[in-house]
Amino acid sequence: MKLLKIIPDKTTVPFTKYRWHALALTAISFVVAIALLVKPGLNLGVDFRGGITIEVEDTAPVDLGQVRGAIGALNLGSYKVQEFGAPNIIVVIVDPANIVNAQGGAGEEAGSEADEALQAASTQVQDALRQTLGEDITFRNRSVVGPTVSGELVHRGVMAVVFATGLMLVYIWIRFQWQWGVGAVIGVVHDSIITVGIYALLQLEFNLATIAAILTVIGYSVNDTVVVYDRIRENLRKYKKMPLAELIDLSLNETLTRTIVTGGTTLITLLALVFFGGEVLRGFAIMITLGIIIGTYSSLFVASPFLLLTGVKRDAGAGAQAAAQTP
């Protein structure tokens, strides 16, 4: 068992000593992430930008050039044809902006007409694929998202992230103090923005699965932060005269094994998904992998050291504890 021990029993890493370095790194990373979200921006999937996605499986390797020629002859707008995990599986992504824009007007009626035009375009693409590859092909997945649905998905995705973050703030505020809640939310915003910024840098597809991954990262990050906060609160009651910076360092070192081992074992599973989970799960797994790495950093160098900037009450919870012990 000693051979498997990664973190020593007693560590004395001065986390708060490097808080200003961490703050500078965080600020620079945050600004760069925001800039990447502006340009080049996110590579939005069909879920958010609308369009057609058709995944096709053939019995033999597919000639991508032949398929591209057949789809291009339909004049449906910009499109992309690429291999999807195996030579005999391809995905066709069509963004028929000229069809949608040709509907003109505004409101629900124009949106409905655009949705119908996309459905008709999807049928054209499927017919072209059958004529090009033969009738033996299998359509593994077909997705048609019009402007009405995509706009609603964007709105609901943003609201889901905001709602989850708000509830986390309220929960930590009630359980601890407002300073702790603000620190946790800063950590969550830090994790989310920088992770999404890396997504923009790598131009990975941003879709509904990515939103699910962001919510997972938020939950994981807050859970990790709460564990550290609990230890800080316990030590505040135990060491009433210890300087706050030393107390935070002590708490972070006492929970360091749990933080590293939990994150490490989770990453082993996620890396297996990244390399062996296939194209469908790869984007989801990459988002959570990045989020856990960045979330571990924020728990150690952002959320907890933030308490030094706002200060905390050393008797927090002491009154309630004494009242509970009174017969």
pLDDT tens digits for the chain (327 residues)? 555 566 677 788 888 888 888 888 888 998 999 999 998 888 887 777 777 888 999 988 999 999 999 988 888 878 888 888 788 999 898 876 655 554 444 444 445 677 777 888 888 999 999 999 988 899 988 888 766 666 677 788 788 888 887 887 788 878 777 778 888 888 888 888 898 898 889 888 888 888 888 888 888 888 888 888 889 889 988 888 888 889 999 999 988 888 888 888 888 888 888 888 777 778 888 888 988 898 888 888 888 878 887 777 665 444 334 333 434
- Round to whole Å and give the CA distance between 209 and 126: 25
How far separated are the first and last CA of the chain, in Å rounded?
A: 46
Q: How many CA atoms lie within 13 A of 19 on its CB side?
A: 17
Tokens of 188: 């969550």
Q: Pinpoint the alpha helices (H) of the chain.
A: 19-38, 46-49, 64-72, 97-102, 107-133, 147-175, 178-202, 208-238, 244-254, 256-276, 278-298, 306-310, 318-325
**Cβ(184)–Cβ(303) under 8 Å?**
yes
Q: Does the N-terminal peptide bond of residue 327 adopt cis geometry, omega within 30 degrees of 0?
A: no
**Cβ(229)–Cβ(304) under 8 Å?**
yes
Location of each CATH 3.30.70.3400 domain in the chain: 51-145
- In DSSP terms, 89 is beta-bridged to 57, 86
Q: Do strands 43-44 and 78-86 pair parallel, antiparallel, or not at all (unpaired)?
A: unpaired
Pick the CATH number of 9-44+150-315 from 1.10.3720.10, 1.20.1640.10, 3.40.50.620, 2.40.430.10: 1.20.1640.10
**Cβ(303)–Cβ(226) under 8 Å?**
no
Q: What pLDDT is attached to residue 317?
A: 44
State the DSSP string of 204-238: -EE-HHHHHHHHHHHHHHHHHHHHHHHHHHHHHHH
Q: Minimal CA–CA distance to 183: which of 299, 295, 27, 25? A: 299
Q: What pLDDT is attached to residue 99?
A: 57
Residue 136: which residues within 8 A CB-CB, separation 6 or more?
58, 59
Radius of gyration of the chain (CA): 25
Q: What is the pTM of this model?
A: 0.73
Burial class (CB in 10 A: 0-12, 13-18, 19+), 23: middle
State the DSSP string of 32-71: HHHHHHHTT--EE-HHHH-EEEEEEE-SS---HHHHHHHH
Q: What is the DSSP letter of 299?
A: I
Cα angle: 187, vertex 189, 193; to 5 degrees: 125
Q: What pLDDT is attached to residue 325?
A: 40
Tokens of 311: 């200060």
Location of each CATH 1.20.1640.10 domain in the chain: 9-44+150-315
CATH 3.40.710.10 for domain 51-145: no
Q: Do strands 43-44 and 205-206 pair parallel, antiparallel, or not at all (unpaired)?
A: parallel
Please state, in angstroms and as integers, the Cα–Cα distance from residue 43 to each residue in 29, 31, 147, 291, 314, following that order.
20, 19, 17, 18, 47
